[in-house]
Amino acid sequence: MIFFESNVHNNRQRGSIEVICGSMFSGKTEELIRRLKRAKIAKQRVEIFKPQIEVRYSATDVVSHDNNAIASTPIGTAQNILLMTSDVDVVGIDEAQFFDESIVDVCSILAEQGLRVIVAGLDIDFKGVPFGAMPHLMAIADDVTKVHAICVRCGEPAYVSHRLVDEDRQILTGATDIYEPICRHCFNKIKQKNLTK
């Protein structure tokens, strides 16, 4: 038992930041849920957060496109995470691209406190532009996992979440009704076609 307590104490001193990124339909949330469920099996205290604006499948749970779910706490600002993590070992954050830049400091503070922080989000938006604080999070992460969907047009690994509706604002939540994963080649063909219109 003494070894177990010592081991927990040592693990608590080793905080880290893990980032899971990629396009929509690539399995980011699925991988986040998998890691968090494994932490729970290991008897670690886990808390999961998501932006309040993310209500596609559930107002409260984090839900993957394959309907795998885990309970979470919707929050308005990243700073609120610091108020709710005083007694946890692992913090999960989904859809991190929707938070402002303060998410970077929040994740750094949690890791410095010895917590394992697992963050999932889109690395680029529908225009192929780096999305929100994700590039900064990827730069400071201890580990970055980039997952890929399959391009619905040619079957190659997807690069971007192509928007199917004529809406230019960066943040527009949706699923297959609004987005499709496509590869770089197919994305460039669409951009060229749009330029010639």
Sign of the C-alpha dihedral, residues 8, 9, 14, 18?
positive
Burial level of 179, CB count in 10 A (0-12/13-18/19+)? buried
| β-strand pairing of 62-63 with 69-70 | antiparallel
Token pair recorded at residue 33: 């849920």
Q: Decide if 167 is catalytic.
A: no
Instruction: Please tell me which residue in 95, 101, 167, 180 is annotated as part of the active site.
Output: 95
Closest C-alpha among 131, 60, 121, 120 to residue 92: 120
- The residues assigned a catalytic role are 95
